[in-house]
Structure 1
Amino acid sequence: MGSPIPVFFCAGLRPEAKGLCPAVPAMAVELTKKFSLLPPGATRRAASEENGLYLGLGGTFRRCFLDPAWIALAFLSHRVMPSPLKFGFHDFLNAQPLLVPLEKTAREAGFEIVKDVPARLADRLHAGELDLAMIPSIEYLSHTDRYRLVPGACIASRGAVDTVLLVMRGGVESVRTVALDERSRTSATLLRILFEDVFPPEVQYSRTHPDLAHMMRTCDAALVIGDQGFSARANNEGWTVIDLSQRWWEQTGCAFVHAVVAVRREVKLTPEGLEVIADAPAQGRAAMDAIVGDQVEKTGLEESVVRDYLENKILYTLGEEEVAGLTLFRDLCFQKNILNVRPELEWASL
């Protein structure tokens, strides 16, 4: 009984009379693994077949006389149990210490994990396809009228991360064209904040597929995010490489928040859901050895590189320092007219 079983409780239906043909059931309940969990004494003889209930399993009907209390419980569970909330998450290396524990507890917390790249997650949340998602922080700041900030978890950094890189063929002063990785938006905004006053005024940006070789053939510089950053450093062909997280840290002394969990305002999170999200950083740290082992096998990177990245370079708790960094990022975006307003950070609650 490992998969959901369609169960139809049909009052007064006689399969031999109906020829097992489709019928409109009196009550229809989608149960998962509950048939094997019927309470003792739930089945019993009925005075007559007319009072019987028939249980449809796999397209056939078997007579099954159930206690009225069990029938009522099943019916009510069908009526009142909400559908799981669609929780979007990206699958980059930096997300694994949050994603792994969330995938294990999602069902109990009422979540269904949906994976996509950061920019697509933002679009799908905006379109209402997702209820909440880990999205680029600039996407939350741009749509605070639609979203609330979920406390507890984020993806942030203090200093170099090796996965948000500006790669240039020459010096900053020679850059006229920049290829932007189309999968993220916060990093592109960070690039503008850090280099708008440094790049020549005629610099042009274009979003493109994250193929570093192609990006560098067609542009003077490229913004590389995610796991491709590791190969960019290893195979830079003499290129100049600047870590944007390190540059932010040097200029501001603040943590940089790359992504946050945002929930649509009309969506209500349960206490269990909020707790699972808030506990995810600690659960990820507790499972770090297993996560590192899995990612070494998946990425082909050295174990020391993966461990250093996940344990030392990426921060997963949205604490006071991270909120301060996010607030500064908001203020700078407003000053540079990237944001039309300076939004307040509003938190999700029960």
Structure 2
Amino acid sequence: MTTSEVDLNETKVRELWDAQSAGLSRVLKVGGVCYLNAKPLLHHLGKLCPNLVIEYDVPSRLAEKLAAGDLDIAIIPAVEALRGEGYTVVSDACIAAKKAAKSVILYSRLPLDRVRSVALDAGSRMSATLTRVLLAERYGVKPEICQFGFEEELAQVTTDAVLLIGDRAMTSKQPPGFPLRFDLGCEWRKWTNYPFVFALWVARPGVENLASWHRLFSIARDHGLADLVNIAQAASRELVLSFEECYQYLSENMYYRFGKDEYDSLALFRAYAIKHGILPPSAKLAFYSGPDLG
């Protein structure tokens, strides 16, 4: 997207809010993922729409807050969107990976068909479910599951495998005693030939003006993708990673548009999650723009 296109979109979205914000009865509470992978979706959002209060947290907590009604719209794990009652996906902006995710890493002491226990990152719901689906469906194992807490160190882990997500996965070195490393985005792609969808913009029941939010989140995403250099520069200072590593992660590893392949991938994931008792057979999801799932 060119600078002129970005400027034009910003003009359009401001006109949209001048025309429609008077119909909003209150400020909208929005939940944004606090990891680097969400920054292209969020970096310009507050500037584009002052009718938002953005709360940042890990994906698992955002899902809990949306379910409790503490948030109106949030970027939540796709599995929690499927599990929720009356949720609607309000944007084609998403967090996905075409191949390697780089920030969803399973370390293992053993080949995966011999794993009997796994510690799952406490910030994760979608990647945790992906781990369980992959192990059960592809490797035929259903290990004992425990949580790897936010304050825990890798040296404390006693399980056969441990899942790390987000910035912790990107900044952690391969732990001693875990010689095997699996990027779960790569594992899903090799197995299914689909990209993997980690998170979606989801509205709770009762949120109005979905057409406005649909347009806003897409434009905010496009602004973010046009500004990856600045986002990567800031992230490199914050995470103590190189600019090149942050830029490559945002521009090549992560993918931010929900299309047909992403829909088909999510449908397949849903089927496996139901098969293995992780989701109920009734799990479904409405899309503001596009066919419902389930």
Q: Is the 8 A contact 2:105 2:183 kept in 1?
A: yes
Shift in Å, 1:81? 5.5
Tell me, in whole angstroms, the C-alpha distance in 1 between the residues paired with 2:209 and 2:174. Answer: 45
Tell me, in whole angstroms, the C-alpha distance in 1 between the residues paired with 2:81 and 2:195. Answer: 17
Partner of 2:28: 85
Query: What is the CA RMSD across the aligned residues, in angstroms?
Result: 2.0
Shift in Å, 1:200? 4.5
Q: Identify the structure with the greater helix proportion.
A: 2
Partner of 1:276: 216
Tell me, in whole angstroms, the C-alpha distance in 2 between the residues paired with 1:196 and 1:214. Answer: 26
Distance 1:165 1:231, change over 3 A: same
Distance 1:215 1:166, change over 3 A: farther
Shift in Å, 1:134? 0.3
Q: Is the 8 A contact 1:296 1:302 kept in 2?
A: yes
Partner of 2:292: none
Question: 2:141 aligned with 1:141, yes or no?
Answer: no
1:141-169 CA deviation, whole Å, 9 max, x = no partner? 111x3211112211001111111111112
Q: Is the 8 A contact 2:171 2:241 kept in 1?
A: no
Shift in Å, 1:274? 2.2
Shift in Å, 1:177? 1.8
SS in 1 for 2:49: helix
Q: Is the 8 A contact 1:164 1:226 kept in 2?
A: yes
Partner of 1:204: 144
Distance 1:92 1:190, change over 3 A: same
Q: Is the 8 A contact 1:146 1:265 kept in 2?
A: yes
Distance 1:82 1:114, change over 3 A: same
Partner of 1:325: 265
Partner of 2:13: none
Shift in Å, 1:345? 3.4
Partner of 1:230: 170
Give the number of the structure whose alpha-carbon radius of gyration is greater. 1
Match of 1:124, as an amino acid? K
Q: Is the 8 A contact 1:331 1:342 kept in 2?
A: no
Shift in Å, 1:120? 0.6
SS in 1 for 2:88: strand
Partner of 1:163: 103
Q: Is the 8 A contact 1:94 1:314 kept in 2?
A: yes
Shift in Å, 1:215? 4.8
Q: Is the 8 A contact 1:85 1:131 kept in 2?
A: yes
Shift in Å, 1:227? 1.2
Structure 1 range deviating more: 173-182 or 119-128: 173-182
Q: Is the 8 A contact 1:163 1:225 kept in 2?
A: yes
1:269-311 CA deviation, whole Å, 9 max, x = no partner? 3543321112122111111111111111111101111111000
Partner of 1:113: 54
Q: Is the 8 A contact 2:90 2:213 kept in 1?
A: no
5+ residue gaps in structure 1? 1-78
Tell me, in whole angstroms, the C-alpha distance in 1 between the residues paired with 2:98 and 2:76. Answer: 19
- Once the two structures are superposed, the pairs formed by residues 217-256 of structure 1 within 5 Å of their partners are 218-232=158-172, 234-237=173-176, 239-256=179-196
The normalised TM-score by structure 2 is: 0.84
Q: Of the two structures, which has the highest relative contact order with CA contacts closer than 8 Å and spacing of 6 or more?
A: 2
Shift in Å, 1:97? 0.7
Shift in Å, 1:173? 4.2
Partner of 2:91: 151
Match of 1:123, as an amino acid? E
SS in 2 for 1:196: helix
Distance 1:337 1:208, change over 3 A: same
Tell me, in whole angstroms, the C-alpha distance in 1 between the residues paired with 2:161 and 2:140. Answer: 11
The normalised TM-score by structure 1 is: 0.71
Distance 1:80 1:245, change over 3 A: closer
5+ residue gaps in structure 2? 1-21, 290-294
